[in-house]
Amino acid sequence: MEEAVMRPVTLIRNEEISPRVHLISWRREDDFLPGQVVKLALGEGETPRIYSLCSGNREEEMAVLFNVREEGSLTPRMAALRPGDRLYVSAPYGTFLGDEAPAWWIASGTGIAPFYSMFRSGLGSHHLLVHGVRYLNQFYFGEELQREMGSRYVRCCSREGDGEVFQGRLTAWLQQQASFPSGTRYYLCGNPLMVVEARDILIAGGVPWGDIVAEIYF
């Protein structure tokens, strides 16, 4: 595989949208398809990390969403960036692509990023979004998604409840479904354990292997 060409961009914004979770953005210079990723680094020659784009493909800015990992070599430094600082970014690439066909988007944590990009790119009309988190303040972009998607936006929270969300893991919500619609693609994005468990539930429920598309976040 060819080494990605990294080019410098100037950070426009860095917002902590939830404790230890940041959304950063820079001016869009590339066309991209909703669901694609970019590589990011803070210096020339540094080993880059891969992040899903978390913005619409016609917006003026490109954005990524990330958790700050204390042991990480990149995220603590990215969290400290200020507007005007330099970031190195690759061209967008990847095959975890959304389209207008009916689909379920199934995400845990910051795995919502590519689905938010798809939503912001106008692909939410025939889609069900299932988002699983531990705490209520981790439903990133939740107010907007609830307003625009209504009952097609399902929130699952494993450690807190407010009377409106499904209290439990998203895999528990999947297990409670009587059936899964045919002619639908099932996109999975999040931590490896969720992806494997959700895929097994879907297959046991009769979903063909070829209708499941997975992207794993570490």
Over residues 43-89, the pLDDT tens digits come to 988 999 999 999 999 999 999 999 999 888 899 999 999 999 999 99
- Flag whether pLDDT at 152 surpasses 70: yes
Hey, is 138 helix, strand or coil? Answer: helix
Is the pTM higher than 0.85? The answer reads: yes
Is residue 51 a contact partner of residue 74, using CB atoms and an 8 Å limit?
no
Question: Burial code of 28-67, b = ≥16 C-beta within 10 A, e = fewer?
Answer: beeebbbbbbbbbbbeeeeebbebbbbbbbeeeebbbbbb
